[in-house]
């Protein structure tokens, strides 16, 4: 039987192979694969874009804030020029000078305010309290105390005046005098602004951290946008090793006061300590801390010393010793009085082979610590025997010798309370006042 050739051609009813579809599927598959592969890269890019956007916004806010402060300072000086006799204009100009960190101008304006108050036949209790608070910010605690006491003398039952006095007494370590004034203010008006903050300060000096936190929380309920109180709360949380909570507190504060140097500094410290708290120093947490510190430097050049210190400290934790030392060299001077910087830099110099210089810095840090401890002892001794004029005399001599002029003035004045004609106390007080005015 003959073999019939079988045709290999397909009949018309058989559909042709879908040749065009396969390449399309392949292309789609490759595109899908490349998308999956690129996801981590894209996420990094998105994060960097968001980070840059956030940093740009923060910088813009900071620049706008600085420009606003500059504009206010200019406007305040113009207003003062138009109304040189106005106490309100003088106070506004003083506040503006503080924002510009112009301490000589602040001192000049406060002296002018004092002259006007002295010529006023009816002293203004509000002006006395404001002047006391401004002098405290300037660091002239003797003048702050003088006007706080004057305000209470003008109205012994004024809760704001009592709180103002309690604040400065707490700063001086006079706890036994501060508590009664604070209690009296509370009994007269429990909702007086500042009461809870003053309580927090007193509890802090007693080491009662739980009570400090309660007082600060109560203060924030009164004034939720008070970022300095939020920073105090965060630092109290840091003292208790609760760094995650501290960061949350600071994040909330930053919403109401973007790029404030005090908030940025506390954020860096909390983030660094959180990294140190974790196993092996948590490289990712340290990297975040370094980013925060560099942002702090960028946004707050007026806080360069603190910013460079933290950048150096974080670099050291990252085992980058040369970079850390270079960072600290930017801010070190022979007059440096930061024990943290002196200790860190001194130890690093010794490890780097610069033993003599490193040991000199460590010796200076030990001397500063000794002086700090001695100062604390003097405060404790005079507090325990407050009515002993000879203790105040010895403390005044020590403060004058060590250049603590505002405290020396206060202690000489305590001697004069007991001996108004005391030649040593009177002459040395005047000498300290003259020396302080030249700084």
Q: What is the pLDDT of residues 333-387, one digit of tens each?
A: 999 999 999 999 999 999 999 999 999 999 999 999 999 999 999 999 999 999 9
Residue 125 confidence (pLDDT) above 70: yes
| pLDDT recorded at residue 236 | 93
Residues 67-100 pLDDT 10s: 554 555 566 656 666 656 778 888 888 888 887 7
The DSSP secondary structure of 68-133, one letter per residue, reads HHHHHHHHHHHHHHH-TT-HHHHHHHHHHHHHTT-HHHHHHHHHHHHHHHHT-SS--HHHHHHHHH
Residue-level pLDDT at 68: 55
Q: What share of the chain is helix, strand, coil (3-state, %, to 5)?
A: 80, 0, 20
Which of 68-82, 162-176, 270-284 has the weakest average pLDDT?
68-82
Whether the predicted pLDDT of 7 surpasses 60? no
- At 216-239, the pLDDT tens digits run 999 999 889 999 899 999 999 999
Rg (CA), the chain: 32
Helix (H, G, I), strand (E, B) or coil at 205: helix
Highest mean pLDDT pick, 15-29, 56-70, 407-421: 407-421
Please give the pLDDT value at position 121: 76
More confident residue, 349 or 22: 349
pLDDT of residue 84: 63
Mean of the per-residue pLDDT values of the chain: 84
Q: What is the mean pLDDT of residues 426-434?
A: 97
């Amino acid at each position: 039987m003959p073999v019939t050739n079988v045709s290999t051609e397909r009949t018309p009813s058989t559909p042709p192979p879908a040749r065009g579809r396969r390449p399309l599927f392949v292309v789609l598959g490759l595109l899908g694969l490349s998308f999956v592969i690129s996801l981590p890269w894209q996420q990094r890019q998105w994060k960097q874009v968001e980070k840059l956007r956030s940093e740009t916004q923060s910088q813009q806010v900071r620049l706008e804030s600085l420009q606003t402060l500059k504009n206010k300072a200019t406007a305040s000086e113009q207003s003062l020029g138009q109304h040189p006799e106005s106490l309100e204009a003088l106070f506004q100009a003083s506040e503006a000078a503080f924002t510009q960190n112009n301490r000589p101008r602040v001192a000049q304006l406060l002296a002018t305010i004092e002259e006007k108050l002295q010529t006023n036949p009816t002293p203004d209790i509000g002006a006395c309290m404001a002047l006391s608070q401004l002098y405290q910010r300037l660091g002239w605690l003797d003048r702050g105390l003088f006007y706080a006491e004057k305000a209470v003398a003008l109205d012994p039952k004024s809760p704001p005046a009592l709180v103002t006095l309690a604040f400065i007494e707490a700063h001086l370590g006079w706890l036994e005098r501060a508590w009664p004034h604070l209690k009296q203010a509370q009994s007269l008006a429990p909702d007086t602004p500042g009461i809870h903050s003053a309580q927090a300060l007193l509890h802090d000096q007693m080491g009662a951290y739980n009570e400090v936190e309660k007082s600060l929380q109560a203060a924030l309920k009164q004034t939720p946008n008070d970022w300095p109180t939020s920073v105090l709360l965060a630092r109290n949380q840091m003292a208790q090793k609760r760094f995650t909570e501290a960061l949350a507190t600071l994040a909330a504060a930053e919403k109401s006061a973007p790029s404030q140097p005090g908030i940025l500094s506390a954020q860096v410290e909390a983030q660094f300590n959180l990294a140190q708290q974790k196993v092996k120093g948590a490289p990712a947490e340290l990297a975040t801390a370094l980013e925060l510190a560099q942002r702090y430097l960028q946004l707050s050049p007026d806080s360069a010393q603190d910013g460079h210190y933290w950048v150096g400290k974080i670099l050291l934790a990252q085992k980058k010793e040369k970079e850390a030392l270079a960072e600290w060299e930017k801010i070190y001077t022979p007059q440096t009085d930061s024990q943290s910087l002196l200790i860190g830099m001194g130890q690093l110099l010794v490890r780097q082979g610069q033993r003599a210089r490193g040991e000199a810095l460590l010796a200076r840090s030990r001397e500063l610590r000794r002086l700090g401890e001695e100062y604390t002892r003097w405060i404790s001794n005079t507090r325990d025997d407050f009515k002993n004029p000879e203790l105040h005399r010895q403390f005044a001599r020590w403060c004058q010798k060590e250049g603590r002029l505002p405290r020396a003035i206060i202690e000489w004045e305590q001697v004069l309370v007991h001996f108004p004609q005391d030649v040593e106390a009177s002459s040395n007080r005047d000498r300290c006042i003259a020396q302080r005015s030249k700084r």
